[in-house]
Chain A
């Protein structure tokens, strides 16, 4: 089987369409960043408190808001999270309610507020950790365990917690479900001192202001160093204009990807930055493959005009470009569709970035090199110098000698 055999598409002839397309998306992104959603920063960068809560029954966000309002958490944001069947809700608090003096206050307030129906003196089994449960069993001693009490109750507590977390996804609906999973004496004790709140905290992220600022700085530095590293490598391998072209293409990809996050108001987290940095490398890949071919063809086809050589090179590598991008896209798409909610932002960045990265290698990086050479030719009135690195240097050396 073979696709794209002997294609002969005049890519450079369409450069104005490409320019238009890129401008529309870049400007839409920039406008959204400047006037609409801004750059929506995730909790890693802006700081704040996120509590992911799983309910045993379908939760009503309005009820949750009312409950939180009553206990003074007026600015909490409540969102449904993941597929509806999971009954999950994400409750977030702003940074100003997250101080480093009492970092987990917001989290504790949320849990306290949600435990509305707590019978007096009873603990919530769905939100009791393994160690607290073990401690409880040790002090209550329902099995009259002798010397090996420590070990025995640790095992009993572990079994209960494992059942709750692995079999029931974090929250048990009724204590009767434990019948047969643990010893009757333990169950009786639990029924005396515990109740079930109907929700469980699945995941907590609390980031104080200092860490937020630190991570912002790190993300910016990492992106800059990454681009600089690429530039150095390209400068080493090609003439500078090729490096510049590749970096502009990468910048273009980053801008449009971040713009997509802004337009859709999706939050940029640490993992999204990781995805973007990977894209910088990936987009560079495609660009280098095309440049490599241009360099090879420049040596082979000395008579032809540069635009023709570039067109030919893009067409020759088109099959490879589309195939590998397509295959990488396949894996990334599978990550986006099946990888779960935790990686949603990450895989979204990759899905957008791989499409844009492939496009930019053909539509931005290569035409830029041609445009520069033509501009230079027009300015100096000489024919364009079309040779990449090695030849160019050799010629320079010869000229000096």
Chain B
């Protein structure tokens, strides 16, 4: 009896999960299918799945004529730089807060979460003025600096939780052996929280890679644009070509999806694990 019930329950779960999976991955499939159709076919047969004539012309157009590969490399450079700098700065800060400022720590964490609340729109104009003053207007450096402003607080907040899990005893043992603070940090503590650092790095990377508003406002040169803005400008170009837009979308989203599939075990829980512990 209970077994029967269990089976039905399991069956229902599968049905539910299959429906959700189809909804979740349909847009990706549709983007891919549309990216290899000619623009005539796109509008003539809106519900046809497989392309009548398989074509790669959308891709060649997007890559060769519109220089989309350059935009992808811009986004990569910016996201990777942001991630690396943010992780170094934040893991030091998180460790510092946990180990040397235990009382201030809880206040600091709250302040950090509060910074996450600032509406990006609020900061857009002040940022463009600060960048102008620093001479970083319309540069990738400028964009990285701006991205740091929201990635560092978030990363510190995530990392504080992970550093709290490191027992003080291990460090003291190292200290007795004559290691200074930095050596202890690098040799003893960092390896212990590596999984947390990886999770944080992934989150930082994703946020930087997906960012739209600031790169729209701060970057003016086509050759420095990130993929998000380059994609947006496709929408406003002189001919509305959905084939191009789908091909460009596929170029952006396929690597992301593959990346996600590989790292999914690492991000599981990463967002809140640290903060909870």
Are A and B bound to each other? no
Footprint of B on A, CB under 8 Å?
A: none
